[in-house]
Amino acid sequence: MVFRYKYFSVGLDGKKLEPESNVLLASIENMQYAVTLDVLHMVFSSFGPVQKIAMFDKNGGLQALIQYPDVQTAVVAKEALEGHCIYDGGFCKLHLSYSRHSDLSIKVNNDRSRDYTIPNTVMMNPQPSILGQQPSATHGPPAHPYPWSSFCSNNRPSA
């Protein structure tokens, strides 16, 4: 049993657990396949609206900050996704913790960061083009290159 207070949880032993936040820190291990911003958005938006995502490399691995509008949505997503894999076969396993941040500052929308709260933002290419600014796509949302149907768990029996 866990008792939830406004900023932190307390276990049955009375010890304070990790402070909750509306921003999750995702560390991804066993990356045999690419994990893109769109893949993370698809996974994490299953639990509620994702406001912002920022991906970065740290300690030789991929990490991402995912911002939800409220703490409750982040708690549900963390509890559901912790220890699960994005792809079948135990690939791209998620380790989640709460971030100290509460509002991410996304300076530019590109392939590593995006602010979904600003409507109709054009994704900026980090490399300048010799042809100048490229036209934006006007037909439908982008296709997801890595579709997935379910999460895997290393505790799942093998077939």
Q: CA–CA separation, 99 vs 97, rounded Å?
A: 6
What pLDDT shows up at residue 149? 38
Residues 123-137 have pLDDT tens digits of: 555 555 444 444 444
pLDDT confidence band for 13 (50 / 70 / 90): low
Query: For the chain, how many structural domains are there in total?
Result: 1
What's the rounded Cα separation, in Å, for the pair 43 and 53? Answer: 12
Which stretches of 12-154 are assigned E, i.e. beta strand?
Answer: 23-29, 52-58, 61-67, 84-87, 91-98, 113-115, 152-153
Give the domain CATH number at 115. Answer: 3.30.70.330
The predicted pLDDT at position 100 comes to 95
45 part of a folded domain: yes
Contact 61, 48 (CB under 8 A): no
| Residue of higher predicted confidence among 111 and 131 | 111
Domain that holds residue 82: 17-123
Q: Is residue 41 part of a domain?
A: yes
Residue 4 belongs to a domain: no
Q: List strand residue ranges (DSSP E) for 91-147, in order.
A: 91-98, 113-115
If one compares 122 and 48, the residue with the highest pLDDT of the two is: 48
pLDDT over threshold 50, residue 156: no
Decide if pLDDT at 48 tops 50. Answer: yes
- Report whether pLDDT(142) > 50: no
